[in-house]
Amino acid sequence: MSMLVEDNPAKHRFEILVDNALAGFTTYLPRGEVLVFSHTEVDSAFQNMGVGSALMRGTLDQVRAQGGRVVPQCTFMAAFIERHPEYADLVTSLG
């Protein structure tokens, strides 16, 4: 099973493809270098297969590589970052 996470700027979301099928996405609003993540969805056919975690990891790794920061308004992303403190440095606020 191959998983690929890629940014889809036209739709303001990072998508995860499993064997070339769209398995899930996490949507964001760009605020300069900061991305405000509002919602994450994984297709029911792909749940409990690690797709959500792979989506979070791939998204956050790409944001880090681009020098960006995140505001995890999405509860799924917030919980993931809490469980994986190596991503905590990416979190900022809009204040």
Could you tell me the pLDDT band of residue 40, with boundaries at 50, 70 and 90?
A: very high
Alpha carbons within 13 angstroms on the beta-carbon side of residue 22 total 10
- Higher pLDDT: 95 or 22? It is 22
User: For 3-90, which CATH superfamily applies?
Assistant: Gcn5-related N-acetyltransferase (GNAT) (3.40.630.30)
Could you tell me the pLDDT band of residue 9, with boundaries at 50, 70 and 90?
A: very high
Measured CA distances, 27 to 1, 56, 62, 69, 77 (Å)? 24, 11, 14, 14, 11
**Strands 34-42 and 3-8, bridge-based pairing:** unpaired
CA 26 vs. chain centroid, Å, equals 5
The residue extents of the domains of the chain are 3-90
Round to whole Å and give the CA distance between 71 and 34.
7
Q: Global pTM?
A: 0.95
The arithmetic mean of pLDDT across residues 42-67, rounded, is 97
